[in-house]
């Protein structure tokens, strides 16, 4: 019999230490990232800690700074950081309290003092095979078997960090197998079509992003008419012929705009459905993401804690977010991307949207051979979001290293994952930064080419 996915002892032993620390703590200060994975992590941890009778105080933030670390640590005895912390170990080690880090970003080092739980340290790739929420879920499952009902929240983090699009692996796969045994998750076939109301779904879709259909009520209605589908159709009610016709038309449009087969395959990845929540991991990720991106992280957390009103608020935030993303994407398509030798970039005045805009441009209409960077001027500094593709990683590109090193060279900071990373650089130094990244990406590719 297939024994299923096994987890490395090194990961499990760190989880046991974290569990023991938390069991002994009456009060826990939680700091988490503000994106879908960060809110989902905070959601799993908060449910877990409240059930265990702990007093908690949760903060979600865009970025962890030494100043924030020192502020939140005042008077605190036990602190947990999720989806962040691995690149701040030195500052955390200097604190006078117990610190647990549950992160999945590439760590620069390990720690003797901090309980550092990071899948990379145990041979699991945190970029593809373990979201931060998955690490939190592993801890929650070890704290109490009853916490398996938190799996949908954890899966929103997996989906939010796009770790389900090429099939699950590593810790994510282990959680799925265990969830299946307990009947908390179902797998459903993937589809090119959105969930729910078709017209609205097509207009709001960024996965796939179809030029002339996404963001365009007229374009979406015309495409449905071409497929012989009435404007008020629900996706679940379509017959096979209608589904096939519409999916083929979408695939044709995508191919015509230069979207490669590999992206089309990713769009039709299997969906993880949670019967008790009545929604898929992608749908829940969409809600949490909209909360985080619109500075309503608290609503996302309340939703994860089961607040029905927060769910309604999140749905409204999601609609407003979708409208804003579509309007911004239309501007990026219209203005085009600026191409350097090895990268492509654009300036965007809506800071919170940089990640999604650069991701969609990279996946659906940009030059496949150049990582995409979105830059936003906050008035105080320039924030950068970069996205690559798996093909670019195969060619040697490492955006975490490029944005970290080039960010530092111009007096800023940067880091993240090889395929998705960010930086903050001083105003006026963005051009220099872009030149350095362009050069470094070229060097990364050349090094890989020489080695193979
Ligand atoms: O902001 P954005 O979504 O583009 O960030 C992509 C990734 O880079 C995230 O995982 C984020 O945590 C990371 N990042 C980082 N250091 C920064 C900015 C972003 O590690 N200064």
Output b/e per residue, 123-152; b: 16+ Cβ within 10 A. Answer: ebbbbbbbbbbbbbbbbbbebeeebbebbb
- Measured in Å, residue 195 CA sits from the centre of ligand 1 at 29
Contact 85, 101 (CB under 8 A): yes
Tell me if the pTM is above 0.75. Answer: yes
Residue 269 has a pLDDT of 87
- Measured in Å, residue 103 CA sits from the centre of ligand 1 at 13
Kindly state whether residues 344 and 264 are assigned to the same domain.
no
- The gap from C-alpha 159 to its chain's centroid, in whole angstroms, comes to 7
In a domain, 221, yes or no: yes
Q: How many domains does the chain have?
A: 3
Contact 386, 363 (CB under 8 A): no
Kindly state whether residues 94 and 233 are assigned to the same domain.
no
Instruction: Give the domain CATH number at 177.
Output: 3.90.1640.30
CA distance 265 to 352: 28
Kindly state whether residues 212 and 105 are assigned to the same domain.
no
Kindly state whether residues 426 and 393 are assigned to the same domain.
yes
Kindly state whether residues 242 and 164 are assigned to the same domain.
no
CA distance 360 to 371: 12
Output b/e per residue, 411-444; b: 16+ Cβ within 10 A. Answer: ebbbbbbbbbbbbbbeeebbeebbebbbbbbeeb
Residue 350 has a pLDDT of 85
Pull the structure tokens for residue 420: 């998705």
Residue 236 has a pLDDT of 87
- Residue 386 phi/psi, 5-degree rounding, is -125, 150
- Measured in Å, residue 333 CA sits from the centre of ligand 1 at 24
Question: Which residues form ligand 1's pocket by a CB distance below 6 Å?
Answer: 63, 105, 355, 385, 413-417, 420-424
Kindly state whether residues 249 and 133 are assigned to the same domain.
no
- ∠446-449-452 over CA atoms, to 5°? 150
Residue 452 has a pLDDT of 83
| Site to substitute for ligand 1 among 132, 388, 415, 433, most atoms within 8 A of C-beta | 415
The alpha-helical segments, DSSP class H, found in 24-116 are 36-51, 66-73, 89-93
- Measured in Å, residue 32 CA sits from the centre of ligand 1 at 13
Q: Count other Cβ atoms within 10 Å, centred on residue 219.
A: 17
CA distance 373 to 386: 4
- Measured in Å, residue 198 CA sits from the centre of ligand 1 at 33
Kindly state whether residues 167 and 210 are assigned to the same domain.
no
Protein residue closest via CA to atom 18 of ligand 1: 422
Residue 171 Cα distances to 155, 403, 445, angstroms: 11, 27, 30
Last residue of some domain: 116, 150, 185?
A: 185
Any residues with CB less than 8 A from the CB of 147 and at least 6 apart, and which? 44, 47, 48, 51, 137, 140, 141
| Site to substitute for ligand 1 among 135, 421, 423, 433, most atoms within 8 A of C-beta | 421
- Measured in Å, residue 33 CA sits from the centre of ligand 1 at 10
In a domain, 426, yes or no: yes
Coil/strand/helix, residue 39: helix
Coil/strand/helix, residue 56: strand
Last residue of some domain: 216, 251, 271?
A: 271
Kind and range of the H or E run holding 347? strand 344-347
- Measured in Å, residue 76 CA sits from the centre of ligand 1 at 27
Any residues with CB less than 8 A from the CB of 320 and at least 6 apart, and which? 290, 294
Kindly state whether residues 150 and 202 are assigned to the same domain.
no
In a domain, 214, yes or no: yes
Q: Which ligand 1 atom sits nearest the alpha carbon of residue 385?
A: 4
Q: Select from 132, 149, 134, 103 the least CA-distant residue to 5.
A: 134
CA distance 176 to 320: 32
- Per DSSP, 75 falls in state T
Residue 17 sits in which domain range? 9-185
Kindly state whether residues 34 and 110 are assigned to the same domain.
yes
What strands lie across the sheet with 55-61, from one edge to the other?
55-61, 27-33, 78-82, 98-102, 115-117
Q: Select from 417, 434, 444 the least CA-distant residue to 344.
A: 434
- Measured in Å, residue 197 CA sits from the centre of ligand 1 at 33
Q: Which ligand 1 atom sits nearest the alpha carbon of residue 33?
A: 12
Any residues with CB less than 8 A from the CB of 246 and at least 6 apart, and which? 192, 193, 223, 224, 227, 229, 238
| Site to substitute for ligand 1 among 360, 387, 422, most atoms within 8 A of C-beta | 422
In a domain, 365, yes or no: yes
Last residue of some domain: 137, 155, 185?
A: 185
Kindly state whether residues 110 and 217 are assigned to the same domain.
no
Q: Which ligand 1 atom sits nearest the alpha carbon of residue 374?
A: 4
CA distance 221 to 290: 25
Contact 38, 46 (CB under 8 A): no
Q: Which ligand 1 atom sits nearest the alpha carbon of residue 407?
A: 21
In a domain, 290, yes or no: no
Q: Which ligand 1 atom sits nearest the alpha carbon of residue 105?
A: 10
| Site to substitute for ligand 1 among 107, 160, 416, most atoms within 8 A of C-beta | 416
In a domain, 298, yes or no: no
- Measured in Å, residue 305 CA sits from the centre of ligand 1 at 26
Kindly state whether residues 158 and 250 are assigned to the same domain.
no
- ∠315-319-325 over CA atoms, to 5°? 135
Pull the structure tokens for residue 276: 């008790």
What strands lie across the sheet with 279-280, from one edge to the other?
186-188, 271-274, 279-280
In a domain, 331, yes or no: no
Contact 425, 433 (CB under 8 A): yes
Any residues with CB less than 8 A from the CB of 319 and at least 6 apart, and which? 204
Contact 79, 73 (CB under 8 A): yes
Instruction: Give the domain CATH number at 354.
Output: 3.10.310.40
Residue 155 has a pLDDT of 98
Any residues with CB less than 8 A from the CB of 443 and at least 6 apart, and which? none
- Measured in Å, residue 415 CA sits from the centre of ligand 1 at 6
Protein residue closest via CA to atom 3 of ligand 1: 355
In a domain, 293, yes or no: no
Kindly state whether residues 370 and 418 are assigned to the same domain.
yes
Protein residue closest via CA to atom 4 of ligand 1: 385
Q: Which residues of the chain have pLDDT under 70?
A: 1
Mean pLDDT value across the chain? 96
């Amino acid at each position: 019999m297939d024994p299923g996915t096994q987890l490395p002892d090194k990961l499990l032993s760190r989880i046991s230490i974290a569990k023991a620390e938390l069991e002994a703590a009456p009060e826990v200060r939680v700091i988490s990232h503000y994106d879908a994975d960060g809110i989902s992590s905070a959601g799993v941890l908060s449910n877990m800690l409240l059930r265990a009778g702990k007093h908690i105080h949760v903060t979600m933030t865009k970025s962890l700074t030494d100043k924030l670390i020192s502020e939140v640590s005042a008077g605190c005895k036990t602190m947990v950081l999720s989806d962040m912390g691995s690149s701040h170990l030195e500052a955390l080690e200097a604190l006078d309290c117990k610190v647990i880090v549950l992160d999945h970003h590439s760590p620069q080092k390990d720690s003797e003092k901090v309980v550092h739980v990071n899948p990379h340290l145990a041979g699991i790739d945190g970029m593809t095979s373990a979201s931060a929420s998955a690490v939190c879920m592993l801890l929650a499952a070890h704290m109490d078997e009853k916490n398996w009902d938190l799996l949908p929240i954890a899966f929103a983090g997996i989906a939010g960090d796009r770790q389900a699009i090429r099939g699950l692996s590593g810790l994510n796969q282990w959680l799925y197998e265990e969830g299946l045994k307990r009947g908390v998750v179902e797998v459903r076939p993937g589809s090119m079509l959105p969930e729910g109301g078709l017209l609205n779904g097509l207009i709001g879709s960024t996965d796939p992003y179809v030029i002339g259909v996404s963001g365009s009520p007229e374009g979406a209605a015309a495409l449905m008419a071409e497929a012989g589908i009435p404007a008020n159709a629900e996706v679940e009610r379509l017959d096979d012929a209608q589904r096939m016709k519409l999916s083929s038309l979408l695939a044709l449009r995508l191919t015509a705009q230069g979207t490669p087969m590999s992206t089309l395959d990713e769009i039709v990845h299997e969906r993880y459905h949670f019967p008790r929540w009545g929604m898929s991991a992608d749908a829940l990720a969409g809600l949490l993401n909209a909360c985080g991106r619109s500075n309503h992280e608290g609503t996302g957390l309340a939703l994860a804690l089961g607040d029905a009103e927060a769910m309604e608020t999140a749905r409204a935030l999601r609609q407003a977010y979708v409208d804003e993303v579509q309007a911004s994407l239309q501007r990026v398509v219209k203005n085009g991307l600026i191409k350097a030798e090895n990268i492509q970039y654009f300036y965007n005045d809506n800071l919170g949207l940089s990640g999604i805009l650069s991701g969609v441009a990279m996946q659906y209409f940009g030059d496949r051979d150049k990582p995409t960077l979105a830059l936003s001027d906050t008035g105080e500094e320039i924030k950068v979001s970069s996205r690559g593709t798996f093909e670019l990683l195969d060619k040697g590109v490492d955006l975490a290293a490029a944005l970290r090193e080039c960010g530092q060279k111009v007096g800023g900071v940067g880091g993240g994952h090889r395929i998705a990373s960010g930086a903050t650089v001083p105003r006026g130094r963005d051009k220099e930064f872009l030149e350095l990244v362009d050069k470094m990406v070229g060097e990364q590719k050349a090094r890989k080419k020489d080695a193979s």
